[in-house]
Structure 1
């Protein structure tokens, strides 16, 4: 077999040389065929550019079919892959276009060959296939590497726009420009999530999954945490129906379900961060302000909240069992405001509930049947 291949090599190279002489004809044939492939048929890539690239590619393939292959290190396939990535040609269309080179060259060789060249063709067709495959793989690898670079550039650009939005929330003139840059509607409603950094990986994963489903979830690290927000559909039945919410539902974070306009996102992120700071291991999922307002208020008052501190100190003067029963009863009453409901919930008599509320009043000076005192009690017990 090696001897037969060596004996036919001269004729094979003669056929390749003939193809090289007719390179312009081959490039014309290639152009006619590639214009049947989307998106080349729509003019995404200039016709003259396609023809010039075809001519250079065919020349390189023919040269490397004659001599030892160097397509893996040649600049042409690398540059071609990079350029097509920037032009937005889908990778499958690019690979199909490159593989047309084999058909164009092979068709020409068959046209020039005699019937007695059958063995020549059989011995060397594999070589041509291998060169085209190497060329196509190099183009594809370069394309994918460039796509990764583009993705990083887009991510960096988006991060810059998001940080500008969060840093300058009181500049309305910027909102329209930022909305256009982010590809979103400045007047739409938005949902905002804010988590502390331990949850960052989960939010980044949600962003990737949303992007894979052609949904937008904007994320950026900000102010000791990570912000995530997305545009609410105009006819929404609630966040629970939206992919972004479902992807984030397991993340422990503060959540503002709706704000009007892109310009309100920064203040909503601040509110969500206040919530995130008071979450504990007992919390799960997205927590809203109504669910956490008492803890948020308590945190903001820490260090100067004498009434709140006094409640805690006076309750601590009780024994552990009495303190537990009083706190349990007061918390239940603060949730419902109904003595009967508290008695049913705690499996005790109404009078027992009233006595415990009275004992709380004696210890702390707070009557939880009075709204102002109830609010202080809620803060103290949160």
Structure 2
């Protein structure tokens, strides 16, 4: 820029500075038209003060002897505060870039004495200054947002640790936990468990949701990651669409609905037990209705109560062929619950089916036509 141009440009900048109050009012009128600004915790006084600081620092940096040091400091302050005030980032950046529109309208006003050619030669500088300002605001906004999210996550982990700790929380502790997690103490909750590896994927999917969903609480325990979210359902009738999307292409164990925060501990234990019971390389949703037989068998076996012992040792009294036919008939009957259907499936007479069931009762003492005995036999034959 020629020396004469420099003097003329500095004069235009100073003339524009004299219109600072009018520029601030123009900016406020346009910015507050954004509902995100109008509905946020941001006050008009805060916005006015930031606008005065921003325009002043931009004009200082546009002078031939100006630097961007103060402008960068203001950008850090604005970005950090707006993140804490939960102003959406896109609304914030639109407001910051309004600075260019308002500033350019005033620089180009004939009253400021700028010739068109002078404005053209400096247009790139004005835009680059405002754009760099916006970039610094965004950088500090995102950094503060990460810090806020980390602090929130640490707080949630702290209270979830109390919920799932070695001792059951008292009623007063549950009140504190519900308040800190912003969830209803008496509400209903879905509790799901995945492997820790899949838990990383689900968390990534949660962050990528178009509309952020903060209703999902996550907690790592052992080899599993727990996911807890409120539900209006009193019994599980399938995962909601958002949850289906989150848990797609992986194994997820879902416990019966927890009625109240006090029941979430038990639901979490159930979800983890179902998850542990699943075969390797499983995918899809597994519930207690799907896995109760296998879970029961494993839990009983872990304490030395293998239910197979109430059946198989007693069948050693019969021949191998007879044992094979009896067990085949018992299994089919437990699937169908019908003598006729069992006979048709095995291609034998109804009376033959009844005779084999009677033989099973003779050897084991268990009558599979009685629900109580049938439940025990179902588990023992798993």
TM range (shorter): 0.7 to 0.9
In structure 2, the residue matched to 1:232 is 231
The answer to whether the 8 A contact 1:249-1:285 is kept is yes
Q: Distance in 2 between matches of 1:39 and 1:249?
A: 33
Cα distance per residue 1:118-158 (max 9 Å; x no partner): 22122112211111111112112221222222222222222
Aligned residue-pair number: 377
The DSSP-based 3-state class of the residue aligned with 1:305 is coil
Call closer, same or farther: CA 1:344–1:7 in 2, change over 3 Å.
farther
Which residues of 2 match residues 192-207 of structure 1 at below 5 A?
192-201=191-200, 203-204=202-203, 207=206
Q: Distance in 2 between matches of 1:318 and 1:196?
A: 45
Call closer, same or farther: CA 1:71–1:364 in 2, change over 3 Å.
farther
In structure 2, the residue matched to 1:132 is 130
In structure 1, the residue matched to 2:293 is 294
Cα distance per residue 1:270-289 (max 9 Å; x no partner): 12222222222486533333
* Worse overlay, 41-50 or 216-225: 41-50
1:68 CA displacement: 6.8
Instruction: Confirm whether residue 80 of structure 1 aligns to residue 78 of structure 2.
Output: yes
In structure 1, the residue matched to 2:340 is 340
In structure 2, the residue matched to 1:95 is 93
The answer to whether the 8 A contact 1:308-1:376 is kept is no
Q: Distance in 2 between matches of 1:28 and 1:145?
A: 30
Q: Distance in 2 between matches of 1:348 and 1:201?
A: 54
Q: Distance in 2 between matches of 1:119 and 1:355?
A: 107
In structure 2, the residue matched to 1:58 is 55
The DSSP-based 3-state class of the residue aligned with 1:121 is helix
Cα distance per residue 1:281-324 (max 9 Å; x no partner): 48653333333222222212225226534645677999999876
Which of these residues, 136, 139, 142, is aligned with residue 141 of structure 1?
139
The answer to whether the 8 A contact 1:27-1:55 is kept is yes
In structure 2, the residue matched to 1:379 is 379
The answer to whether the 8 A contact 1:210-1:244 is kept is no
Instruction: Confirm whether residue 9 of structure 1 aligns to residue 18 of structure 2.
Output: no
* Worse overlay, 212-221 or 331-340: 212-221
| C-alpha RMSD over aligned residues | 3.7
1:38 CA displacement: 3.8
The answer to whether the 8 A contact 2:252-2:284 is kept is yes
1:262 CA displacement: 1.7
Instruction: Confirm whether residue 266 of structure 1 aligns to residue 265 of structure 2.
Output: yes
Instruction: Confirm whether residue 246 of structure 1 aligns to residue 244 of structure 2.
Output: yes
In structure 1, the residue matched to 2:189 is 190
Structure 1 residues without counterparts, runs of 5 or longer: none
Which of these residues, 151, 164, 179, is aligned with residue 153 of structure 1?
151
1:71 CA displacement: 5.8
Q: Distance in 2 between matches of 1:284 and 1:358?
A: 40
Structure 2 residues without counterparts, runs of 5 or longer: none
Call closer, same or farther: CA 1:363–1:281 in 2, change over 3 Å.
farther
1:42 CA displacement: 5.5
Cα distance per residue 1:233-268 (max 9 Å; x no partner): 26x896337335533476434323323212111112
> What TM-score, normalized by structure 2, do the two folds share?
0.81
> What TM-score, normalized by structure 1, do the two folds share?
0.81
